[in-house]
Amino acid sequence: TYTIAEPCVDVLDKACIEECPVDCIYEGNRMLYIQPDECVDCGACEPVCPVEAIFYEDDVPDEWSEYVTANIDFFNEVGSPGGAAKTGKIDYDHPFIKALPPMNT
Ligand code: F3S
Ligand code: F3S
């Protein structure tokens, strides 16, 4: 799967959403998260993020490895909704993300 890392926090550009053919990029309060079971690894989202927050999971820089876990764990709460458009913004963040100081501002 692909994953979203620290540069997205408090930025939420959302250019990625428009590119995803399966609509599996979900909006939380402070960042967006990719649903690992719904992502088909097409890679279309990765080049459009203006802050380069999106990585193939094996390519996430080591210092951001917690974001891989956070993206996966987010959906232990949220499940597999089968499409972000109908879900809309989710009033939740992974606890690790929620606890971060203001970022990227
Ligand atoms: Fe975030 Fe980049 Fe998407 S900032 S919302 S991952 S385009
Ligand atoms: Fe969508 Fe990006 Fe996966 S465009 S299918 S989240 S690689």
**Tens-place pLDDT, residues 12-47:** 999 999 999 999 999 999 999 999 999 999 999 999
Find out whether 26 and 2 touch, Cβ atoms under 8 Å: no
Dihedral sign from CA coordinates of 65, 92, 78, 46: negative
CA of 83 to the centre of ligand 1 (A): 17
Rg (CA), the chain: 12
Reported pTM:
0.97
Distance CA 26, CA 91 (A): 11
Ligand nearest to the CA of 13: 1
- pLDDT score of 80: 96
What's the whole-number mean pLDDT along residues 71-75?
97
Our mutation pick for probing the ligand 2 site, out of 22, 31, 71, counting the most ligand atoms within 8 A of Cβ, is: 22
Ligand 1 atom closest to Cα of 17? 3
Strands (E), the chain: 2-4, 25-27, 32-34, 54-56
